[in-house]
Every structure is written in structure tokens, then in C-alpha cells.
Structure 1
Amino acid sequence: MASGTGAGGNDVPTLDVDKVVELTSVLFAAALDQSYWQTFLTRLSTSAGMVSTHLYGYDVKTRFAPEPLYYGYDPDFMATYAEHYGQLNAWADGLARAPVGVPVTSAQCLPEEELFATSFYNEWVLPQGDVRTGAGVVLARDHSRFFVLGGNMEQRYAHYEDGWLRTLRILAPHMRHALEIGRVHFDGIAHAELGDPVVPGGGGAILAINGARQVRYANSQALELAEQGAWLRYDALGRLHFVDPYADSALQKALSGLSDGRASVSSVVRAQDRWGHGGVVRMGRLDSDKLGSIPLGLPPGSSEPYLLVALRPQVSAAALDAQLQAEFGMTVSEIAVAVMVADGLTIDEIARQRDVSLHTVRDQVKAGMHKLGVARQVGMVRAIADLRSRILG
């Protein structure tokens, strides 16, 4: 970790490439084992200097809704935050409105003159050494999830704020990347537990590959896709390839970076299967020597780095709509509502988004279930998932 000189002549830590590689490796471990998010906060605070860090949020699809994770804050104050002051957080509204992936300072969330007038500041922020200085970033915000990571520092360390902002700008894309891989991994586990097929929005393939393209780990979805041969294939030497030349070239570039300990190799690419169906491939580096232990049962303490690969096949809305209309005779409105139910929206959310009454949505859901031959909404979700899987081949 390098240092720069901040206001007051104090050294302000800044991230060097080695530290970025270490932190991103922990992030991708967190994508596979959610307990690593606490490890990430600990190392992030240590790297950033006098910054206390926190992460909170939820993901309905993956059932990831941790208690607020933190490092550096007084546990007694965090207990009162959970019990009372979290509901009074004067920065919350401003941060919730911030663009996803764009770090903002505490002062940008709420001007200090307004903050000073709140009980949140006088009873919770000020007694901790006046931790009003800081910044945070919204990592995800949609109908089924919301995640925020932030950090605060005592006023005597206010000169650390610029460095903390730079750190968030560097790491925010990687944090969002890790959350997306985690959604593929844990959503896949949830659907596998229910016996569902591989479907977009319902998990996907997770693999760990070494620099020689040898697969060290593959989940059941990855094994199924490799067996089908539409997305993945093995050559005569047992090396893994994407069927899509562009995706395979991106894979080779990332694998080449594994030999360079200073390369993060994080990347996102669009891919197609042999029939032209689209999907998203995400890749990141896993280094057991930087983690101490490693998820997926990979050998701990190995000097061999791994490339984490997540593939989520996708079905176009047009293809799904056409199949629902042709096979089940559903109307345009019934299809739209059924797909929204399958994607996890509630009846209230559907009514608001479509600007119709709850009664109308309920009628359309009932009509859609009747045409799909199911008696409950969970049956509708499974029917849409099955159809998406069949479209993918």
C-alpha cells in the first residue's frame, strides 16, 4: 500500500495495484461465500486508513439479507443504530437517491447545516468523535435488491475523505461485479434446491479455472451446459473453451493475466451460444495466498491462482413473449404480468409499474395461471422458468 501526504502533513493511504488485486480477490471470494464480505470490510478499512466501513442491504432472489456488517465502529453504537438510530439516519434519503455505482460524500447526501440540527447527528454521530465526514456508494438498487457500502471517519481525520472517495471509485465496479456473480451463484443454489432447470434469472454456470484452462470447480449448471455443448466445450486435451469466439478470446486474455500477480482480470463480456442466444459472462481472480482459505473446496494455500467464471444465459423478451402467445394463447397483458411475477415483482409493484389497478393485475394473473395450467403463483414462476430453459435448448 502506498501513501500520500494529506492535509496537516499526515500520511493518507492510497491503493496500489497489489492492494487492489488483494481486495478484489476477497470480493470474488465473497461472491461465493458471503462470510467474506466481513473480511473485505476489515481489509478495506485497514487499507483506507482511519475509515470505519459498513455494508447493508438485501437481495430477495438470493436470500442474502445480512445484519449490517461493519468494521471500526464501536459495537455499542452499532447496537443503538440497529435498535433506533438507523431509522433516523439523516444521510439515508440522499444516499438512496444517488446514482448506482457513483460514490457520494456525506455532505452531498445532506448539507452539514441541516445535519447539525438532527438528533441523529447530536446523539449518534457527534459522540463517536464527530464521524460526519465520509462517503458511500449504492451498489445495487432494483425491485428485488438494494446494497450500500460506506465509510466514516472522525473529524480529526477529515483529510482522509478524498482518498476514501478515490478508493470507492476504484472498487465500486468490482463490488458490483462481485454482487452480480453472487447472484448467479446463490440464485443457482436456490433453484437447484427446488429441482429447477438452468434458467436466466435463476442461477447459471460457476467455474474456477487455472491458467491452463483446466477446470478445478464446476457447479451442476456448468456441468449441464458443458454437456449440452451449446455454450461450453472441451478440447482433446480437456481444456475448457467458450463456443463463442469473442467470449473465448476474452477468457484467454483473462487467463493470461493470471500469471501476472498485479492483474485483477475482472471483466464482463456478452456471449452467444451456438444458436445465437445471448448471455453474460463475468470473470474475476481468486488467489488463495491472499485469502488464507478459498471457497468451493479449492486447495487452500496454493500458489496457483484461479479464474472465477460466471455465465448466465439469457432469453430475449421477444422470444419468450412469442412462445407464451403461441403455446398458451396468452394475451400481451397476461404475458407482461406473468413475466413480472416470474421476475419476483409483487402484485402491488406490478400495478404501480403498469399504472393499473390491483384488481386488474389479479385478474390477469388468474387468467395467466389458468392458461398455463397452474393453480398458484409459484406454479406460474416455475412454468416461465421451464419455458425459458426450453427456449435455451
Structure 2
Amino acid sequence: MNYPLSKLPDTGTSIFTVMSALANEHKALNLSQGFPDFNCPDPLLELVYRYMREGFNQYAPMAGVPKLRENISLKTEKLYGYRPDAETEVTVTSGATEALDAAITAVVKAGDEVLLLEPCYDSYAPVIRLCGGVPVYVPLALPDFSVDWDQVKRRLSSRTRLILINTPHNPTGAVMAKQDIDMLANLLEGTDILVISDEVYEHMVFDGQQHYSALQHPQLRARSIVMSSFGKTFHATGWKVGYAVAPAPLTTELRKMHQFITFSTPTPFQMAIADFLEEEAHYLNLPDFYQAKRDFFVAQLKGSRFEIIPSAGTYFQLARYNQISEEHDLDFAKRMTKDIGVAAIPVSAFYHDKTDHKYLRFCFAKDEETLQAAAEKLVRL
């Protein structure tokens, strides 16, 4: 039998699956894949149980439970000074990854160019390519992984359909300043170029900085689809609940895709999150919660040979190992997992051409006991 040719012939199993499997095989501490090793808040769990027992176990409305969409709208207004219409501009999705898939599929056609700032999350480019789009890569500037807007401007063309930004940034932990958001808006003025803004780590910004959302800029939000993640915010990545905020015309097109990808997201999770969103303290306290973990992890690594600049956001910390080894970062990460017992993600996996700057990404969304045990091993390198 002749099987059809692969649509993604150069794509294999994701690096997250590879490194987590290797960690399991060698019983290593898994600081690779981005998930907490602690549970989500007990009151939120109780709400899920309650709604399950009360019979909220059938399909939710395609666009999301109305109360959840309304509370997302209110939360957006409190944080960013803009209240999207809950009925026409807010869509609940099965994780932010599904929202990204729906958004890209909705707006990218064959031959369209999409600007990606590298390193970038590994799901962006494959979806663009599956739509017939052309990823155009713009490298972030080392050592702080900032955006070179002059270079972005040079890469724009008559075929540019979309720019995809991510702040706070995975994998680097960089955070765009208000100036960056303003520069992006100015750059796109007078064009029909759209923006997808991946803001799933919006509540993890440290050292007194602020997260500036595309929704805060009137001209930018008119052309933007903004993604967020309750899985990240509530330590429940396995629930796969996210959402997208966009102007009504873009939301209409996004929902056309969403209804044929997952149709709806689990009802008891939506009902519980709708209630729990009214407890603002949880997400308002997340910056302090995760900064304490970052600070603890960085302090534990002070005696190591890694070069570390504390992460400005997300729950990821980069560490440069060029003083330890000249190995390619994938080889070094695999050896470290097997021999040292700590798994991390090689940052080359976030570049289309596997650019290697000798960085590893560690997830510090872990209990202090896990972080300390990992650091003790890493200091021995």
C-alpha cells in the first residue's frame, strides 16, 4: 500500500516528549517539560467536583460557558483597561495551543508570510506550514533576547499576513516593555497585517515589571488575537483550558475553526474556573509566588559553572553552559539527564535551524525540595 506523503516530513516527536521520556527512563528530576509538580488550589478542585456531581458533564456551548466568558471580560478590563464583549469577542478553547491552531488556521492562507521571533514555541511554525503559509524568522537579540524592530521592519513584505509575538516569552523568560508594544503598533499602522499575541504567562512577571498586553493598545487590539491559559494560571496544565480575545470579525473566523477542532471544552472545568476567577488573589499573587521560586532556584545554582541571568517572566530559567562543555545543547541535555539526573530542554529546539547558543531551559514551577535536589546535582557539573 502506498501511504500518503507526510505533510510535515521534517517534524518528529516534540522535544518535550523526548526529554520527559528520557527523564522517566533514567529516573531523572524533570525540569524540562513546563508543568508544576504541585497541585492546583483546593477550592478550585472542590468546585470541579461540585459541578460534576451536579450534572454539568455534557457539552458546553461552543464558544464557552457564558459566565466564564463574562468573567474573562471583567478580568481583562481590571487588568488591561479594556472590556471585550463576552458574547462576540471571547472564546474558550481547549488550551491556548488549540486557540493558536484555530487562530492561525482562520487567517493564514497559502503563500501568506508569518513573522516569527526566534527562538519560539515549537507549535507555531508547523501550523503555519499546514495552512500553506511561509514562516519568516527574525532572531531575537542576545544576550537579553530583545526584539530588533528595525530587523522586523526589514522582513515585512506585501505578503506578510501576520506577526506572532509571545510575552512573557517561552523559552527565554524575556518580557516585552510598553515601548515594544508601541513600536509594534507604529510599525503596523496603515497595513492590514494581523497580530497573534501569545500571553499565556501573563501573570508571571518579576522584579516589579508589568505585563503589557496587546489589548492595552487601542490600535493594536483592533488587529490582534490574544491568547491566555488557565492551565498556566491555575497550575492545571492537564485540564487544557485557555481562551482567545479578539475583535468580533476575527472571533467569528476563529470560532469557525474552533468548532471543527474540539467544538467545546470540558464543562465542569469551565464552570469551576468561572467561579474561581472571582477570587482575584490567586492570579494577582502569582508574580510573587513564582519569583520566590525563581530566586530560590537561581540562588541554589550560584556555586555552579552555569551562566545565569534571572528570568524576567514565565516559569522558565535559561542557563548557559559554555564554560562546562562545547557539546551541542541537545547532546549535552541528553547526557545531563542520563549521567547527572536532571532533565532540561535544549534551546536549539526552539530555532527552525537548530541554532545552538549553549543554553538550556529549566522549569522552576516545582516544589523547593525538587529545585534544591536538582541544583545539588547541577552544581557538580
TM-score with structure 1 length normalisation?
0.28
TM-score with structure 2 length normalisation?
0.28
Structure with higher strand content:
1
Structure with higher helix content:
1
Bigger Rg over Cα: 1
